[in-house]
């Protein structure tokens, strides 16, 4: 049995690793990297650090407007699917690479399997929301992390092929913590908050980005800010001088281990990332999410994660409020990769 997996952006490399491990000895896996993320520290570092197999195909599509980027990916993916004739296609999450792969597979009548299906922010202005809704509606198997996602799909009339398997990112966090792989990557620094901000609604207007940075500058502890290239480029285009922010230590995008290392050592996370809300939960770190809504609604229970968007001055007090408990079972048992591949094999037989 041959499966093609489509990856392209940083969070997908992370999700691909445990899936690749789960496929070993069971199916032939062919990987297409669209090239959506291409900087060494946005892409290559994950392959090297996690010792992942290099992609079989790399498309070098790069950055661009949504239509241009997605269209270019589709043209190239279609050719490879023609050539490799897989029994199924796997896509992860909600990026433009996800949608491109999903559309091609569906139009070529190749069974489509969506890992991290059923998530909803109910905000169609987010490109990710459009990508995930469309992908879910054309997928044959939908692997969801929790009951809320099953309900989201049911509300849209999607019932067939839905399986709760937990979250594949938990597989990896569990693997890394159980094998003590973070040890060498935990920074010496203490007493800081960790921050990552890259979503359009926080970065695409000068006043908004400036306000976010001004609030972080005023926090009671130092902020270590892992700077996505999109945020860096936009800050520079607005004429914001990041060196003026003396309370914020801007660092390059981090490898998987270093990112978790910073999170592990921090006194809390300030983010608009999807995946890091969960990683903070599993590492028992308070998370303040700079968004109006989250797809990961379970993390909001007991205040482990809190949404702050309009009144950013609340970030400070929210970081102090710790939850009474952390549900160790949130998003599965860390074995979702093998559950998914078994369901895929069963489906294709
Ligand atoms: C994409 C995903 C988002 C995910 C994020 C993780 C979509 C619509 N969005 O957003 O869901 O949370 O990845 O990082 O697919 N850039 C570089 N080097 C790179 C990659 C990007 O400089 O290697 C810069 C470019 O200026 C580019 C911008 O970042 O235009 C945005 O990149 P893009 O891939 O379009 O979206 P992300 O913001 O990374």
Compute, in angstroms, the gap from residue 42 CA to the centroid of ligand 1. 9
pLDDT value for 220: 97
CB 72 within 8 A of CB 96: no
pLDDT value for 238: 98
Compute, in angstroms, the gap from residue 53 CA to the centroid of ligand 1. 23
Name which residue sits closest to atom 9 of ligand 1, judged by CA: 95
β-pairing, 305-307 vs 222-226, is unpaired
Six-digit token string for 250: 């801007």
Burial per residue of 207-234, b for 16 or more beta-carbon CB atoms within 10 angstroms, e otherwise:
eebeebbebbeebeebbbbbbbbebbeb
pLDDT value for 155: 98
Query: CB atoms < 10 A from the CB of 25, how many?
Result: 5
pLDDT value for 207: 98
Compute, in angstroms, the gap from residue 329 CA to the centroid of ligand 1. 31
pLDDT value for 91: 98
Active centre residues (catalytic): 198
pLDDT value for 92: 98
Alpha helices for the chain (secondary structure H): 10-23, 44-49, 66-84, 96-107, 127-138, 147-155, 168-178, 200-203, 206-217, 229-237, 256-265, 275-282, 314-320, 336-348
pLDDT value for 61: 98
pLDDT in tens, the chain (349 residues): 999 999 999 999 999 999 999 999 999 999 999 999 999 999 999 999 999 999 999 999 999 999 999 999 999 999 999 999 999 999 999 999 999 999 999 999 999 999 999 999 999 999 999 999 999 999 999 999 999 999 999 999 999 999 999 999 999 999 999 999 999 999 999 999 999 999 999 999 999 999 999 999 999 999 999 999 999 999 999 999 999 999 999 999 999 999 999 999 999 999 999 999 999 999 999 999 999 999 999 999 999 999 999 999 999 999 999 999 999 999 999 999 999 999 999 999 9
Rg (CA), the chain: 20
pLDDT value for 210: 98
Q: Say how far apart CA 320 and CA 73 lie, in whole Å.
A: 44
Name which residue sits closest to atom 6 of ligand 1, judged by CA: 10
CB 96 within 8 A of CB 12: no
CB 323 within 8 A of CB 302: yes
Residues with CB under 6 A from ligand 1: 9-11, 36-39, 42, 63, 94-96, 127-128, 198, 229-230, 233
For ligand 1, pick from 132, 229, 295 the residue to mutate: most ligand atoms within 8 Å of CB.
Answer: 229
Compute, in angstroms, the gap from residue 330 CA to the centroid of ligand 1. 28
The DSSP element (H or E) to which 41 belongs, if any, is: none
Q: Torsions phi, psi of 58, nearest 5?
A: -125, 125
Q: Say how far apart CA 110 and CA 87 lie, in whole Å.
A: 7
pLDDT value for 204: 97
């Amino acid at each position: 049995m041959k499966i093609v997996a489509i990856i392209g952006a940083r969070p997908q490399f992370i999700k691909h690793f445990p899936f690749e491990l789960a496929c070993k000895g069971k199916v032939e896996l062919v990987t297409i990297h669209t090239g959506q993320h291409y900087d060494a520290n946005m892409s290559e570092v994950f392959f090297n650090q996690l010792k992942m197999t290099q992609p079989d195909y790399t498309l070098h599509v790069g950055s661009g407007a949504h239509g241009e980027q997605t269209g270019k990916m589709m043209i190239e993916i279609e050719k490879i699917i023609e050539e490799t004739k897989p029994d199924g296609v796997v896509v992860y999450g909600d990026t433009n690479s996800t949608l491109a792969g999903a559309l091609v597979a569906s139009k070529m009548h190749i069974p489509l399997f969506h890992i991290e299906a059923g998530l909803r922010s109910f905000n169609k202005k987010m490109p990710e929301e459009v990508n995930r809704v469309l992908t879910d509606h054309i997928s044959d198997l939908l692997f969801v992390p929790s009951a809320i996602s099953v309900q989201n799909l049911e509300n849209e009339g999607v019932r067939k092929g839905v399986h709760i398997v937990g979250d594949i990112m938990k597989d990896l966090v569990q693997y890394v913590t159980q094998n003590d792989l973070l040890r060498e990557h935990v920074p010496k620094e203490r007493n800081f908050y960790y921050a990552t901000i890259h979503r359009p609604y926080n970065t695409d207007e000068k006043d908004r980005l400036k306000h976010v940075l001004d609030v972080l500058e005023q926090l009671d502890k130092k902020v270590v800010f892992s700077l996505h290239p999109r945020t860096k480029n936009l800050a520079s285009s607005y004429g914001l001088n990041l060196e003026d922010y003396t309370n914020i230590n801007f660092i390059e995008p981090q490898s998987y281990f270093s990112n978790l290392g910073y999170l592990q050592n921090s006194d809390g996370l300030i983010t608009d990332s999807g995946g890091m809300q969960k990683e903070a939960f599993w590492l028992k770190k308070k998370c303040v999410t700079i968004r109006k809504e989250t797809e990961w609604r379970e993390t909001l229970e007991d205040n482990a994660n809190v949404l702050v968007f309009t009144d950013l001055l609340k970030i400070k007090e929210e970081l102090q409020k710790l939850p009474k408990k952390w549900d160790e079972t949130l998003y599965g048992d860390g074995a979702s990769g093998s559950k998914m591949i078994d369901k895929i094999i069963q489906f294709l037989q």
